């Protein structure tokens, strides 16, 4: 699918993997709508990139806010590309060292943002994409969701995060099958350890240990490498219904 001339929507687009994706899709000729809760960063990035780049403040799990963002993205060009990068992390065991149970509100919050938010964006964007005219091979668009290697190799304390990302993985194939009737592809990228703002919050010793576990290359992934895969997925129309691990062959240890 040709990116040039298409409209794209990127959640979590003001920083990290999302920001890199916004930059890459803009360079490829898409009109990108940045969706994020950080209004200052989102507006600053849109102003920097200029052209048709715009910003919509939204909580991805809020129906009305995402509807407004999707509507904004469809103004001026057909919406063909949606990339969900918005996500949150949390550390907590099923029971803590004092035997107290995992925080209920924290678990719900992570599921709400990472899983329900991804689903909300996917369903609303797909509805808008389905109304567009088909391209070659009757393709109308592509949705790229973001999981994590934690969906497969969840570490101690990653219960909520792993559950949320496992849900994103589980949606991939049935969503692709559902949307095949209207020519919309669905793919998921499962990044390993990437140098993002979320990772920067980890202690330096934790960062060194994580990097040492990567077979090759022995470094954190760069957001631009995630964005390059998004671009390839957009342009390769046979990629559909699959989860791609982008992780340097890492398999996360228990802790």
Residues serving a catalytic function are 161
Number of H helices, E strands in the chain: 9, 7
> Considering Cα of 59, then 65, then 70, then 72, what sign does the dihedral take?
negative
CA angle 98/253/148 to nearest 5° reads 95
Torsion angle in degrees (nearest 10) through CA of 183, 239, 232, 237 = -40
Helix axes 159-179, 104-111, angle to 10 degrees: 30
DSSP string for residues in 70-104: HHHHTSSS-EEEEEE-------B-SB-TTSPBPPH
CB neighbour list of residue 18: distance below 8 Å, 6 or more residues apart: 10, 11, 12, 34, 36, 83, 85, 86
Residue 47, Cα to own-chain centre: how many angstroms?
A: 22
Query: 9: part of which helix (H) or strand (E)?
Result: strand 7-11
Residues 73-100, buried b or exposed e (16+ Cβ, 10 A)?
A: bbeeebbbbbbbbbbbbbebeeeeeeee
């Amino acid at each position: 699918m040709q990116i040039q001339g298409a409209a794209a929507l990127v959640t979590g687009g003001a920083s990290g993997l999302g920001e890199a994706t916004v930059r890459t899709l803009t360079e490829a000729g898409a009109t990108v709508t940045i969706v994020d809760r950080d209004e200052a960063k989102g507006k600053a990035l849109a102003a920097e990139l200029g052209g048709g780049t715009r910003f919509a403040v939204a909580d991805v799990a809020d129906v009305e806010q995402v509807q407004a963002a999707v509507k904004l993205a469809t103004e001026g060009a057909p919406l063909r590309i949606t990339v969900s990068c918005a996500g949150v992390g949390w550390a907590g065991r099923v029971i803590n060292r004092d035997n107290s149970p995992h925080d209920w509100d924290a678990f719900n919050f992570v599921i709400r943002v990472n899983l329900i938010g991804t689903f909300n964006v996917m369903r609303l964007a797909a509805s808008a994409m389905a109304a567009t005219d088909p391209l070659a091979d009757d393709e109308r668009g592509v949705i790229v969701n973001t999981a994590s290697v934690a969906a497969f190799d969840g570490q101690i304390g990653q219960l909520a995060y792993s559950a949320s990302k496992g849900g994103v993985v589980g949606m991939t194939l049935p969503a692709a099958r559902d949307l095949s009737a209207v020519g919309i592809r669905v793919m998921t990228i499962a990044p390993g350890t990437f140098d993002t703002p979320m990772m920067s919050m980890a202690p330096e010793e934790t960062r060194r240990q994580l990097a040492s576990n990567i077979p090759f290359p022995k470094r954190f992934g760069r957001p631009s490498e995630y964005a390059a895969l998004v671009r390839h997925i957009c342009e390769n129309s046979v990629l559909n219904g699959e989860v791609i691990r982008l992780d340097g062959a890492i398999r996360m240890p228990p802790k």
